[in-house]
Structure 1
Amino acid sequence: MDNDQGPTGPLAGIRVVDLTHIAAGPFATMLLADLGADVIKVERPGGGDGARQMDVSIHGDGDSGYYLGLNKNKRSIVLDLRAAQDVEVVRRLAATADVFIENFRPGSAERMGLGYADIRKVRKDIVYCSITGFGPSGHLRDGIAYDIVGQAMSGIMSITGDADRPPAKCGAPISDLTSGIFAALGIVSALYHRQRTGEGQHVGTSLLGASVALVSSYITSQALGTPFDRLGSAHNTLAPYQAFAGSDGRYFILAAGNDGFFARTAQLLGRPDLVTDQRFATNADRSRHRAELAELLQRAFERRDTEHWLRALGEIGVPASPIYDIADVAREPQLYANGYLTTVEHQTAGPLPMVTTPLTFSATPVSVRRPPPRLDEHHHEILREAAGSLPLDTTCG
């Protein structure tokens, strides 16, 4: 199945040569593809992108859910970047492209003859993007970074989890995905610069840099004396702002992060005295006495089930939400109503829920035009396009 509906989205007409693999780079290029770009995914011989075999949801064609969730709207071609003739094909494709993106270790693309200087020879105004683990300079430049390394070194893990447990990582690969978002942002910014000036450039981001960006306010606040600890679902500077359980044992989130919300919650629970209690008079007071307050609130919430409290808190305008598992998320109608989730018919797996890029455009909407490609699915059509590019110097490197 190939349900490509033709150019659509604000990046329609933009071509991307994608040499990335696993998560960060593929997420970046999927965002670009959702926005209308034509993404040519270059994969290695054998198994292709390593993400194709990454989890237990393996289907008959060998593609994992991890891969499928990060690669819709792309075309796939297998090329051996150790072979001069295949490197030449990549260079020919680059001559027809607007964007070239890779996530090799620093120096690897240059050794293959596919570094920025090499690609610029065939497309002078190319926007070339590199995603690295730790950045292009410094003592860690050649290190290998996985998502958990980014979460650990950025400080994210130090503030995630319960106080009496070891540091925990976020369940989603936020370091990988955030670096992908920054890469996509850098690329579209460089494309805008090219439109104004005619000049391409080399864009870079890293797993560590993107992860540290997520704790921007924490780093500044810590320098001013704010302590940050592991508090489970609670917040370091807001209270009550955490999970509670109803009488049925189901957890929900209460986010009464200001005085007004707290007063309404106390009134709802029949505890207006909490508002005048000096331990809880202000948010700063409540944060200092977070554990005592949470214990009092939990006793009150145990009188009724979670559904009752979610409904009652909603009626008085206090932010609260259920805690969904992944299956719950895939059934949430709000996501479908806004186009954040859609269903794609995959060639072998059948109908699959897919997350779309959560942006709306009045004139150039985001779309899902292709299911995630099978390995090497578009080999011949991509080679035909490469053959039509300008003659290139066959000397690589």
Structure 2
Amino acid sequence: MSGPLEGLTVLDLSRVLAGPWATQVLADFGAKVWKVERPKKGDDTRHWGESLKNIRQKQGCLESEYIESEYGDDISAYYLCANRGKQSLTVDITNESGQNIIKQLALKADIFVENFKVGNLAKYGLDYPSLSKLNPKLVYCSITGFGQTGEYANQAGYDAMIQASAGLMSVTGEKDGEPQKVGVAVSDLMTGMYAVSGILAAIYHRDKTGKGQYIDLALFDTQVGWLANQSMDYLMTGEIPIKQGTVHPSIVPYQTVESANGKFMLAVGNDSQFKKCMEVLGLNKLATDEKFRTNNVRIKNHDELIELMTQVLKSNSSEYWVKKLSKEKIPCGSINNIKQVFEHPQIKARNTKISIKHPNLGDIPQVANPIKFSDTPIQYEKAAPILGEDSESILKNELDYTHLEIEELKRLGII
């Protein structure tokens, strides 16, 4: 069965995470994705962490007919997480012949995604004004650190610095501790997700008007955009939000709480849940106490409430309380490490962990896309590609290059 985006073609010149995450989602949804990488080197993330060739060799899991790619064969877990479902084509875009290949592919593409520094692709004739003349229906998405305009436009942007400069680190960490970055590159990932929604909106508009358009997307804008309630609280009150650890600034009790053997997360979202929670803890009187009866007063009396709850919670284990509270439909959960996450029964129930055959690494685990389509379920048919794995087939089948022309491009180092 075909995916919902079958028939759309993406020309992907992005690398690292934000752009590749977006194009992997589009690939999951059924779009054809041509991932353009640098000859011999490929996407930077191919080399981030120990080579999986070495790891799988130690595990005895390498395929018996291992393909020693003439384009290079480094691949890492980081690369695998954001590049499944794509076809890899190596092209030297600094060379005129390489630029011509990209232009020919752009004529056949619906979507173009790139994350070069501002103005870099213009010198190669691969910017939006140039390519839109060749293909007016092209939806072109540029992802940068700070966008195409403003005094910071030419500054490079990576996830960690964006988390810092766009405010996320200032509200992350313990109240009396140092600012912390989130343990996953969330600024990159959210930018990738905004890219998907922006691209699909532009495709919908194109289908109505016949005209493509340019999407200017910045990590900084994205991070500021999803500060959500934190930024709105500041804009409305003038009060600067602070780090509060796991404590929610607007809901109480909504944080990690102590038990007899550690901590667990308690997320009481409304007054009726609070009443049930107090019943489970045997603190029924607190549910009607004027200091705690509603969320707004609980915020003012946060410390006193948590102290009273902790006295009871420390009488038993986290496991005991999570089971007892969950039975009453009170949101709570264990603080799991990644191993425990993949042992969670919902992983199996939801088919969250899947396996894809890789030509060199054998069957490799993957985390499934969380979206479950009823009529067009996602088909996971292609693992993240070997560098240049599809170069010849794309040039031959899509652009009608001959064998001799392809060999000459290889000789010259253009592919």
* TM-score between both structures, scaled by the size of structure 1: 0.91
- Alignment root-mean-square deviation, CA: 1.8
Q: Is the 8 A contact 2:51 2:74 kept in 1?
A: no
CA distance in 1 between counterparts of 2:346 and 2:251 reads 27
Secondary structure of 2:369's aligned partner: coil
Higher mean displacement: 289-298 or 75-84: 289-298
CA offsets 1:351-387 (integer angstroms, 9 cap, x no match):
3332232222222222212011011111110111342
Indicate whether 1:22 and 2:35 are aligned.
no
**Residue aligning to 2:248:** 235
Q: Is the 8 A contact 1:183 1:204 kept in 2?
A: no
**Residue aligning to 2:318:** 306
**Residue aligning to 1:73:** 85
**Residue aligning to 1:55:** 49
CA distance in 2 between counterparts of 1:126 and 1:386 reads 17
**Which among 244, 266, 272 is matched to residue 257 of structure 2?**
244
Amino acid at match of 2:246: S
Deviation of 1:159 after TM superposition, in Å, equals: 0.9
Deviation of 1:266 after TM superposition, in Å, equals: 1.5
Amino acid at match of 1:51: T
Deviation of 1:57 after TM superposition, in Å, equals: 6.4
CA distance in 2 between counterparts of 1:47 and 1:336 reads 37
Deviation of 1:35 after TM superposition, in Å, equals: 0.3
Q: Is the 8 A contact 1:356 1:367 kept in 2?
A: no
Pick closer, same or farther for the CA change 1:267–1:57 going to 2, 3 Å.
farther
Deviation of 1:106 after TM superposition, in Å, equals: 0.8
| Structure 2 counterparts to residues 147-158 of structure 1, below 5 A | 147-158=159-170
**Residue aligning to 1:253:** 265
Amino acid at match of 1:111: K
**Which among 6, 28, 31 is matched to residue 25 of structure 2?**
31
**Which among 25, 35, 38 is matched to residue 41 of structure 1?**
35
Higher mean displacement: 46-55 or 136-145: 46-55
In structure 1, the gaps of 5 or more residues are: 1-6, 390-397
Pick closer, same or farther for the CA change 1:294–1:346 going to 2, 3 Å.
farther
Higher mean displacement: 285-294 or 111-120: 285-294
CA distance in 1 between counterparts of 2:254 and 2:83 reads 36
Deviation of 1:327 after TM superposition, in Å, equals: 1.9
**Residue aligning to 1:120:** 132
Pick closer, same or farther for the CA change 1:260–1:227 going to 2, 3 Å.
farther
**Residue aligning to 1:185:** 197
**Residue aligning to 1:394:** none
Amino acid at match of 1:14: L
Deviation of 1:299 after TM superposition, in Å, equals: 2.4
Secondary structure of 1:279's aligned partner: coil
- Percent identity over the alignment is 36
**Residue aligning to 1:3:** none
Q: Is the 8 A contact 1:125 1:194 kept in 2?
A: yes
CA distance in 2 between counterparts of 1:9 and 1:339 reads 18
Higher mean displacement: 213-222 or 129-138: 213-222
**Residue aligning to 2:157:** 145
Deviation of 1:247 after TM superposition, in Å, equals: 1.8
CA distance in 2 between counterparts of 1:84 and 1:32 reads 29
Amino acid at match of 1:310: V
| Large movers: runs of 4+ above 4 Å | none
Give the count of matched residue pairs. 382
Higher mean displacement: 276-285 or 260-269: 276-285
Secondary structure of 2:12's aligned partner: strand
Indicate whether 1:369 and 2:363 are aligned.
no
CA distance in 2 between counterparts of 1:298 and 1:352 reads 44
Q: Is the 8 A contact 2:147 2:153 kept in 1?
A: yes
CA distance in 2 between counterparts of 1:373 and 1:256 reads 44
Indicate whether 1:100 and 2:100 are aligned.
no
Indicate whether 1:222 and 2:234 are aligned.
yes
Deviation of 1:137 after TM superposition, in Å, equals: 0.5
Higher mean displacement: 347-356 or 229-238: 347-356
**Which among 224, 234, 251 is matched to residue 212 of structure 1?**
224
**Residue aligning to 2:295:** 283
Deviation of 1:253 after TM superposition, in Å, equals: 1.0
Indicate whether 1:338 and 2:332 are aligned.
no
| Structure 2 counterparts to residues 350-365 of structure 1, below 5 A | 350-365=362-377
CA distance in 2 between counterparts of 1:173 and 1:324 reads 19
CA distance in 2 between counterparts of 1:130 and 1:149 reads 19
Deviation of 1:218 after TM superposition, in Å, equals: 2.2
Pick closer, same or farther for the CA change 1:327–1:131 going to 2, 3 Å.
same
Amino acid at match of 1:332: H
CA offsets 1:86-142 (integer angstroms, 9 cap, x no match):
111111111111111110011011111100122123222111111111111000000
Secondary structure of 1:280's aligned partner: coil
CA distance in 2 between counterparts of 1:168 and 1:230 reads 9
* TM-score between both structures, scaled by the size of structure 2: 0.88
CA offsets 1:244-299 (integer angstroms, 9 cap, x no match):
233222x3211112221112111211222322444323212222222232222222
Secondary structure of 2:291's aligned partner: helix
Q: Is the 8 A contact 2:106 2:131 kept in 1?
A: yes
CA distance in 1 between counterparts of 2:151 and 2:94 reads 28
CA distance in 2 between counterparts of 1:271 and 1:216 reads 33
Pick closer, same or farther for the CA change 1:57–1:244 going to 2, 3 Å.
farther
